[in-house]
Copies of this chain bind each other. A is one copy, B any other.
Amino acid sequence: MNAIIVSVGNELTSGQTVDTNSAYLSRRIAEFGICPLAHWTVGDSRRDIAEAIARASGSADVVIVSGGLGPTADDQTRQAVAEALGCELVLDEGCLARIEEFFRARGRVMGEANRIQAMAPRGAELLENKVGTAPGLFARIGEAAVFVVPGVPSEMEWMFDNQIAPRLPRNSGVTIHRTIHTFGAGESDVGTRILDLMQKTGPVLVGTTVAAGMVSIRIISRGKTGQEAQAQSEEVAQEVKRRLGELVIGEGSQSMAARVGEMLRERRQTLATAESCTGGLLGQMITSVPGASDYYLGGVISYANRVKEQLLGVEARVIAEHGAVSEEVAGAMAHGARKLMGSDWAISITGVAGPGGSSAEKPVGLVWMALAGPGGVKTSKTLWGGTREIIRVRAALNAINMLRLELMNR
């Protein structure tokens, strides 16, 4: 069983936006044993969209179209589906009421333009969208099952889980994707430790990808049944984890912050933060985990030196002597945050994120981190290249990793 993914939008064909929906949908349908044959991207032209849908329906068992369902004049996918089906669009009163309610619940009034979103070609089914105003569509064109969903990634993902997945044709084979995240070693180091696993062909394939200093190991396992695919995947995953040891952070969507959160919750311990160059990113990562209030008390963003002194108790003399980006200041920030918040642990970051603010001694990318805990204060230094954003993300991840390693080894 196979599929073609169609993405719609001038912002995609013009290259102003990179299409990430097609890759996402390909990975998801593979879980159902459906093989993605091709991705097609077309602009906001009704004729082009209709032609792509008609052609895809003739070549694949499943067609998933994303984009072009909005309320504005350049959204033509709904009309194109009608054209491909050779049917007219009709208003669905129930759907219209739901869209009106969506606006009402948010204290807004539905505009006239949104009416089109409650219309579907005769013979197509409207798919409810609980996270946005644009419902999707489901139709059969020839032998193919055709799904149409909004292009906004968060809405597309919700629609996949709640509307497409339950309607996908069942297949005999199953493919399972699994991702193990590591932190603390480069891609070639990680690759060398699992080289033989990566070179193997057969039902289980192993690869690596790298993003923001994290190296992730992808395991793709194909089996006749879900159980078989699962067992094969598990065996390889265990071997990968054994070889990579404490580099392994977690799996799938589990972030480093979530892993550290679990460990803190188990130990009933609390955490505070003190940030300079990351400006809140460290706190944001920690609190991106639902339920972080169980262990995270809060933090100070001490961007100005005065805030470091007055709130965190870093002595002005220490800043003057060593500079704001120094081992001494990082240590004093963590110590001060732990005291101020009354937490078990505190992590701090001070660095030069650039592009300005550097000196010969303190280049862009230099970051000092500290961890204050029951046993005292530990410090750590890193120096990376990259953009302001990359430096900040790596600094925050590395600071959380200090705590992870400390908790693991206690």
Contact = CB atoms under 8 A, between A and B. Distances in A.
A9 B36 CA distance: 12
Contacts of A52: 38
Contact of A303 (B198, B278, B279, B297): B297
A239 to B, nearest CB: 16
How many copies altogether?
2
Interface in A34-53: 36-44, 48, 52
Given A17-B209, A191-B71, A385 B131 contact: yes
Contacts of A356: 290-291
Interface stretch (A18-26, A85-93, A261-269, A314-322): A18-26
B279 A292 contact: yes
Interface string A79-117: 000000000000000000000001001111001111000
A199 interface: yes
A4 to B, nearest CB: 10
Contact of A39 (B13, B112, B208, B301): B13
Interface stretch (A136-144, A181-189, A225-233): A181-189
A284 B280 contact: yes
A247 interface: no
Contacts of A288: 279, 388-389, 392
Contacts of A284: 278-281, 284, 392
A408 interface: no
A121 interface: no
B311 A306 contact: no
A202 to B, nearest CB: 14
A205 B342 CA distance: 57
Contacts of A107: 383
Interface in A247-300: 273, 275, 277-288, 290-293, 296-300
A319 to B, nearest CB: 14
Interface string A1-30: 000000001111111111110111111101
A130 B279 contact: no
Nearest to A209: B11
A162 interface: no
Contact of A207 (B16, B199, B205, B211): B16
A405 interface: no
Contacts of A275: 280, 283
Contacts of A74: 198, 207-208
A171 interface: no
Contact of A36 (B14, B283, B285): B14
19 contacts: A14-B220, A15-B36, A18-B23, A37-B43, A71-B188, A71-B191, A72-B190, A72-B191, A72-B198, A74-B198, A111-B192, A113-B192, A275-B283, A279-B288, A283-B303, A287-B301, A288-B389, A290-B356, A298-B301
Given A70-B187, A72-B208, 20 more contacts: A9-B209, A12-B23, A15-B23, A15-B36, A16-B179, A19-B39, A38-B43, A39-B40, A72-B198, A108-B186, A113-B192, A131-B385, A273-B301, A280-B286, A283-B303, A284-B392, A293-B304, A297-B303, A301-B301, A304-B341
